[in-house]
Amino acid sequence: FADLYYLRGVKADNKVGEMKARSEKKYTIVDAVLEERVNALDKSFLVQIDKCVDWQKLRTLINKKYTKTQNAVGNPAYDSLMLFKILLLETWYNLSDYQVEERINDSITFSRFINLGFEHTAPDHSTISRFRSALTELGLMDKLMRELNKQFKKYNIDRVCEGVIVDATIVD
């Protein structure tokens, strides 16, 4: 029962009302079955990018101003870093909110990049849109992109600009 309840985004335990964030990944039977396919993706673009970036630094920048922890009905909000990574996917692959939602639900690579367990579905298009609007209103989008591009420079990735990755050769 506790595992079934956890899959809905809430961890059942002895403490009443304690909830886990929707992005908290748990190793499941689906992960075990797909492990070989997932491991075959280790050289993919998104896996390489994921290794280059200090995501904690970006999370800290976001969470200084973006403090949403619950949705309108009181469930845990999606992880802010997950939502930011979704915005990056939209930029890099020229996708709309609807398209990125569909691709995350369909793609192992996209799901893995945003750290979404296979047992969960992607945030819906309206959640993604509201998050983008919030980052823009808080003046965070430009700061986040500057920090991301600064980190990319260390790996000889010139910059990410207007949906185009310029010189995306990753050097270890």
Rounded Cα distance, 161 and 147, in Å: 13
| CA separation, residue 14 to residues 2, 21, 63 (Å) | 10, 17, 29
pLDDT digits over 117-150, tens only? Answer: 888 899 999 999 999 999 999 999 999 999 999 9
Q: Give the residue from 118, 81, 151, 50 showing the smallest Cα distance to 160.
A: 151
Rounded Cα distance, 96 and 35, in Å: 29
pLDDT digits over 52-108, tens only? Answer: 899 999 999 999 999 887 677 777 889 999 999 999 999 999 999 999 999 999 998
Q: Do 78 and 62 contact (CB within 8 A), yes or no?
A: no
In sequence order, the 6+-apart residues with CB closer than 8 A to the CB of 159 are 149, 152, 153, 166
To the question of pTM greater than 0.75 for the whole model, the response is no
Q: Label each residue of 133-165 as H, E or C.
A: HHHHHCCCHHHHHHHHHHHHHCCCCCEEECCEE
